[in-house]
Amino acid sequence: MPSASGRLVSRVVTGVVLVLIGLLWLLERLEIVDFSIATLMAVATIVIGVALLIVSRGGPHVGLVVFGAIVAVLATLATVAPLEGFRGGIGERNVQVSTPSDLQPDYTLAMGDLFIDLTELSDIEGIVDLSAGVGMGQLTIRLPEGVAVSITASAGAGELQLLDRRADGIGVDQTFESADFEGAADALRIEASVFMGRIEVRDG
């Protein structure tokens, strides 16, 4: 059983790391500094590792080791998955698009279910780009009929279902391109991402 001093050290280091993560993330959001979340997680992992080396002679620090392992896993996921999805709120969001003017270039949700219905979308002119991302949860996109489409999807950890193509695991990437996309004057180009969760793209 860890001693009282060991528990105190673990709490102090955990507090320092959390404050560091929060402070640097705030500075990044305020555009005062510019760095990736993967870099932030890596720095936090190093801080925990150094702390463990310093206090290791005082006995086991299970809590600190567990916390370090969690941060290390997050750092690994951050290197293989985009984190832009951690914006846009929490909950369930349904989006229905019927005209190109209604279509936003970027849809994001931090946590929850994001449903984008493009089945009524018509009169597309040129190559129309759509980017959608969810931090943790599910992203579902329904495609319009008769429109050439190209899809690029990625998941830090989870499942990708692009029409009849399926993949799952950690650091998953999947692409789909309709037979008429290459050379099409009018088409839809989709980029979808989820940090942890599921992406489903299906016909209307």
Q: How far apart are CA 175 and CA 190, in angstroms?
A: 10
- Give me the residue spans of the domains in the chain: 4-80, 90-203
pLDDT level of residue 99 (50, 70, 90 thresholds)? confident
Predicted pLDDT of residue 5? 56
Average pLDDT for 76-82:
57
Predicted pLDDT of residue 160? 95
Q: How far apart are CA 143 and CA 19, in angstroms?
A: 43
| Beta strands, E only, 30-164 | 90-96, 106-117, 127-143, 148-162
pLDDT at position 19 over 80:
no
> Would the pTM of this model clear 0.75, i.e. be above it?
no
